[in-house]
A and B are shown apart, each in its own frame.
Chain A
Amino acid sequence: MAPRPGSRAGAPTSSRAPGRIHARREPAASPALGAAPLVRRGSRRHASVAPSHRAQSPSPRGRLIAILVAVGLVYAILGARLIDVQVRDRSYYEQLGLEQRVHTVALPAARGSIFDRNGNDLAVSVSRSSIWADPRVITAPDVYAAKLAPILGVDAVKLADDLGQKDRAFTYVARTVEPDVATKVRSLDLAGIGFVPETKRYYPAGSMAAPLLGLVGTDNYGLAGLEAGQEARLAGKAGRMQVERDPQGRELPDGERRVSEPRAGDDLLLTIDQSLQYEAERVLAEEVETAKAKGGTVVLADVRTGDVLAMASVDGATTGVPARPATAGTPNRPLTDVFEPGSTNKVVTIAAAMEAGLVNPGTTLDVPGQLIVDGQEFKDVHSHGAQLSVADIVRLSSNVGTIQIARMLGKTRFDAALRAFGFGEPTGLAFPGEASGILLPLTEYNATSLASMPIGSGIAVTAMQMLDVYLTIANGGVSRSPRLVAATIDKDGQRHEAPLGASHRVVSEQTAASMRTMLEAVVSDGTGTKARVAGYRVAGKTGTARKPPYLKPPYKYVASFAGFAPADSPRLAEIVVLDEPQVNATGGEIAAPTFSRIMQYALAVDRVPAGG
């Protein structure tokens, strides 16, 4: 090593030591290395200056102690720091180290599928790629946007803005794109553009049963319908995986790896029949279009089990758009919307009076054409003789006759009957947003309540609630809570049957049988003849109610028909509700034919033999 120029000038602090070293090395040094002349020069200089510095230098022992102290101090500091790091703040640094190399990856749970009663897919989750970008890496956002926007079908300017946010390390470019789109983007091989696997919810049958099924958000969380109502079952439980990675993000071969497996959500097996649901929506859309109605709903159910086989909502035509099934995200109106039922509610009044022993189908009453109650006029739509039997009151849908029977019953028993049939509370389907209906408390009845409510005015029910009444009559007087979910299938493929809804008797078997007979007459020879189904005996009741404001033209109506078939051995019950029909605005004219078309198809699908 060549001495520094300063050293050669004779720095006193270093003059002695180099001299000793060199003197020791001198005999071993090879002349070929050129070290000897340098040593000699140094030796000469030391010889002349050393005596003057020797007296000022500390003793070797003192220097050694100083060095030892310094070294000891350094080790003491290091030791203290070591104790500080390893003992006192051990957990903190341990955690810090773990965070640097251990990464936690969320393992999303597979969302359960939704099937119809025959195992057809109504909602499935499929793996898709989401595209993300690291704007810090992207140097030309405009160029990127120009390439990506046409493929992704997004606005290039907005995309360029997103990609130009240099302060962000991550931004989504597109979520859950189709495979061909992902392939095209991959082929561009753009730096700073990456892909992450996600699942996307699909409804293979399109908008069929959309309000019933509901929808999920981008992160697969149920937002409406059954997707929201059954979220706990469908979502499952997310897992997580902890892996050790190197600074480049590669997994360490022998690193720690802890996996908490996700638990897949359960599949739902609905009571809905895809075929019946489709047909119900198709027929209803046609009839809504024909009637120029604002909308319509249909519910079809199995009498024996209360299983809902179809639940349809249709939106009426708007400018340039024909009537069509309601879309996802819209309310499932058979359960969420209430309406004044009109004459379909007479069944409750008559059944309650028969159950109380006040009347029977043959009981004859003097029924005038009109009735004044507290200054308000109630009249019959269909002309009739002075006397009507109870069966005729039902067959001809006599308002006056029904009011007379309700007065015989009294408001207490009438109110009890309404509640016994399920009005004023949800049906038990546990559907999100299900309405309870509007039922006047007994204490708030006024002078006309016992006139208007027995004929279906002044109360509001959902279509499902009203269908429940007819299911009860058809089921021999026993009310059974309806079902939408027949079973669940867990992650291991095991099927778990959902129990049938709770049941309770509302009216006697005899009352129910009498009501079935009278309701059959409505269809065979009354206001509901257009509900007939060739080859089958059908029972049911028409309903036409004026919507508020009641006395301000143009009048708006809700037309409905509820019934079941076969009348003598009921298998299926159905309700059709049309909101504000402009043409043939009565239940018998527009709702009954709709009922007939759907019921005919349903009887065929369920292979119910004709002649019953």
Chain B
Amino acid sequence: MVALVGFVAVVVIFTVVVFQAFLAQNQVAIDRLDRRTAVAERRYEQARFEHAVRSAPQRIIERASALGLVAPDTPPTAIAVAGETPAPPSVTSPTVRGVADVKATLGTAP
């Protein structure tokens, strides 16, 4: 009887130790993933910022001028053509739909 109790106690202690070890191991893995996520988020932020800077109108004009492009005297004029009339633009900025699509996959990241 005593031997049985001792055996059970040893098994329980061993199980607890193993379980604790697994927990610690998983926590280490989670911490590592957190760090990698944080690094990736910072890289994303930086890349997005650099993209925004590079696509700013002033920067594009400067770059275009450096490449020898010349702005037209007047902007192009839209001319109505025969055919099916497209639906009028949404009252809430049609092109932003893409942003919403992207945002949905980014979660908390803007």
Scan B98-110; emit 1 where CB is below 8 A from any A CB, else 0: 1110011111101
The CA-CA distance from A205 to B58 in the complex, in Å, is 7
Instruction: Kindly state the separation between the CA atoms of A117 and B93 in the bound complex, as whole angstroms.
Output: 6
Please indicate the chain A residues that have their CB under 8 angstroms from the CB of B92 in the complex. 305, 486-487, 497
What CA separation (Å) do A377 and B67 show in the bound complex? Answer: 59
Is A118 a contact of B78 with CB atoms below 8 Å?
Answer: no
The residue on B at minimum CB distance from A606 is B89
Does A25 belong to the interface (CB within 8 Å)?
no
A610–B79 contact, CB under 8 A? yes
In whole angstroms, how far apart are the Cα atoms of A74 and B24 in the complex? Answer: 44
CB distance from B41 to the nearest CB of A (A): 8
- Contacts A278-B57, A305-B91; is A253 near B24 (CB within 8 Å)? yes
| Interfacial chain B residues near A202, Cβ < 8 Å | 49, 52
Query: Quick check: B77 and A534 within 8 Å, CB to CB?
Result: yes
Are B56 and A492 in contact, with the CB atoms below 8 A? no
| Interfacial residues of chain B within 14-38, with CB under 8 A of chain A in the complex | 24, 27
Contacts of A604 in B (CB 8 A): 75-78
Residues from chain A with a CB closer than 8 A to the CB of B48 are 121, 124
**Contact (Cβ within 8 A) A610 B80:** yes
The answer for the CA separation of A392 and B37 in the assembled complex, in Å, is: 69
Contacts A491-B108, A610-B78 given; indicate if A126 touches B45 (C-beta within 8 A).
yes
Q: Pick the contact of B103 from A493, A600, A601 — CB < 8 Å?
A: A493
Which A-chain residue is minimally distant from B42 (CB atoms)? Answer: A127
Verify B96–A534 contact, CB threshold 8 A: no
Whether A495 contacts B100 by the Cβ 8 Å rule is yes
How far apart are B85's CB and chain A's nearest CB, in angstroms?
10
A112→B76 CA distance, assembly (Å):
36
Measured between beta carbons, the chain A residues less than 8 angstroms from B27 are 253
B11 at the interface (CB under 8 A from A): no
Determine the distance from Cα of A118 to Cα of B51 in the docked complex, in whole angstroms: 15
Distance of A202 Cα from B98 Cα, bound (Å) = 23
B57:A275 contact, CB within 8 angstroms: yes
Closest A residue by C-beta to B93: A117
Contact A607–B107 (Cβ < 8 Å): no
Could you tell me the distance between the alpha carbons of A535 and B80 in the complex, rounded to whole angstroms? 11
Most buried by A among B51, B104, B105, B110: B110
- Beta-carbon contact of B99 and A119 below 8 Å: yes
Residue B65 is within 8 A (CB to CB) of chain A in the complex: no
In Å, the complex CA distance between A136 and B89 comes to 64
Contact A267 B110 (CB under 8 A): yes
1/0 per residue, CB under 8 A from B, across A473-496: the answer is 000000000000011010111110
B58 touching A206, Cβ below 8 Å: yes
User: For the complex, what is the distance from the CA of A595 to the CA of B41, rounded to whole Å?
Assistant: 44
**CB contact between A124 and one of B49, B78, B99, B103 (< 8 Å): that residue:** B49
Of A115, A126, A605, which one neighbours B46 at CB under 8 angstroms?
A126
Residues of A with C-beta under 8 A to B51: 121
**Does A611 contact B79, Cβ atoms closer than 8 Å?**
yes
**Residues of A contacting B99 in the complex (Cβ-Cβ under 8 angstroms):** 115, 119, 269, 489
Cα–Cα, bound, A124→B46 (Å): 10
B81 nearest in chain A by CB position: A609
Q: Is B12 an interface residue, CB under 8 A from the partner?
A: no
Q: How far is the CA of A491 from the CA of B51 in the complex (A)?
A: 22
Q: Is the CB of A119 within 8 A of B91?
A: no
B-chain residues with CB within 8 Å of residue A118 when the two chains form the complex: 93, 95-96
- With known contacts A126-B49, A208-B58, A113–B103 Cβ distance under 8 A: no
Residue of B74, B91, B104 near A493 (CB, 8 A) is: B104
- State A179–B42 Cα separation when bound (angstroms): 11
Of A115, A127, A271, A610, most buried by chain B (CB within 10 Å of CB) is: A127
Asked if residues B77 and A610 are in contact (CB atoms below 8 Å), the reply is yes
Residue numbers in B under 8 Å from A115 (CB-CB) = 96, 99
**Within the complex, what minimum Cβ distance (angstroms) separates B64 from chain A?**
13
Q: Nearest Cβ in chain A — how far from B33, in angstroms?
A: 16
Chain A residues with Cβ below 8 Å from B93 are 117-118, 269, 271, 307, 486-487
Q: Using Cβ atoms and an 8 Å threshold, which residues of chain A touch B100?
A: 489, 493, 495
A-B contact pairs, 25 of them (CB 8 A): A115-B96, A117-B93, A118-B96, A120-B52, A124-B45, A124-B110, A204-B53, A204-B55, A205-B52, A206-B56, A208-B58, A267-B110, A274-B56, A304-B91, A307-B93, A492-B107, A492-B108, A493-B103, A493-B104, A493-B106, A603-B77, A604-B76, A609-B79, A609-B80, A610-B80
A-B pairs, 4 with minimum CB distance = A204-B52, A609-B80, A119-B99, A493-B103
